[in-house]
Amino acid sequence: MSIKKALSVVALVLAFGRCELQAQTGDPKLEVGVHYTAIGLVAFDSRESGGGVRLSYNINKYLAVEAEGNIFDFRIGDHPTDDFLAAQGLLGVKAGLRNRRLGVFAKVRPGVANFPMLKVHRSFCSVLQACEGSGRSGSRFALDTGAVVELYPTEKIIVRLDIGDTMIRFRDDSFFSPSGLVRINDGLSHNFQWGVGVGFRF
């Protein structure tokens, strides 16, 4: 084999290897984001807002596993108490389609919503006063379902919009509002939640 042919083969192998490497590393798997979110809580008859962080792992272009944590400050705006921080933690999947500039997904993310000021009723509790020291925490099962729209202004940056229904399972709870004790019926509450944020791919 001549030197010219040998160099041609080497150049072809290097070019092919470079294409393979770009194909493997050109689609980042890990995403980290921050966002603003707001929720209309039917049980509390209030609209609350807060912020959070999100961590996602892209299994492929169509499916991702993601975890999200949010904090809501009930002390601002339309609030049921004067000292109330609520937290939300979710872990689930999003699935859909995307190209270089746009992605549209559906999401299903079970988790927990925590309301530290919730009180739990028992049979010996009066209608006007919630039970104290029942031992049950303010954590309630939550399920976030809805849609996600993502814009990709660059390969590494994501602008994301979430909209959906956050279902929360209350269990004969109550809370103290400025106007007095408010009871929450046992059952599943549907709450519209949306969020907007920015993320970074790695």
On the 0-12 / 13-18 / 19+ scale of CB atoms within 10 A, 64 is buried
The two beta strands, 46-58 and 102-114, are: unpaired
In-domain check, residue 22 = no
Judged by DSSP in three states, 46 sits in strand
φ/ψ of residue 126, rounded to 5:
-80, 165
Domain of 152 in residue numbering reads as: 28-201
For 28-72, what is each residue's pLDDT tens digit? 899 999 999 999 988 888 888 999 999 999 999 999 999 999 999
Q: Is 138:174 a contact under the CB 8 Å cutoff?
A: no
CATH number at residue 62: 2.40.160.20
The whole-angstrom separation of Cα 39 and Cα 50 is 9
Mean residue pLDDT across the chain: 81
Half-sphere exposure of 148 (CA within 13 A, CB side): 25
Nearest-angstrom CA–CA distance, 31 and 161:
15
User: What are 86's two structure tokens?
Assistant: 């609520």
Tokens of 156: 């590494």
For position 86, what pLDDT does the model report? 86
Q: What is the count of structural domains for the chain?
A: 1
Distance (Å, whole) CA 37 – CA 48: 9
155, amino acid identity? E
Q: Is residue 50 part of a domain?
A: yes
The answer to whether residue 62 is domain-embedded is yes
Task: Please indicate whether residue 184 or residue 3 has the higher confidence score (pLDDT).
Answer: 184
Beta strands in 99-186 (DSSP E): 102-114, 119-120, 139-151, 157-170, 173-177, 180-184
**112-121: pLDDT as tens digits:** 999 877 765 5
Is 55 a domain residue? yes
Residue (of 124, 133, 118, 107) closest to 181 by Cα position: 118
Tokens 């549907």 found at? 190
Tell me, yes or no, whether 34 lies in a domain.
yes
Could you tell me the pLDDT band of residue 26, with boundaries at 50, 70 and 90?
Answer: low
Task: Report whether pLDDT(124) > 90.
Answer: no
In a domain, 171, yes or no: yes
Question: pLDDT per residue over 158-172, tens digit each?
Answer: 999 999 999 999 887
Q: Is residue 17 a part of any domain in this protein?
A: no
In a domain, 20, yes or no: no
Q: What is the mean pLDDT of residues 9-23?
A: 49
- pLDDT value for 162: 98
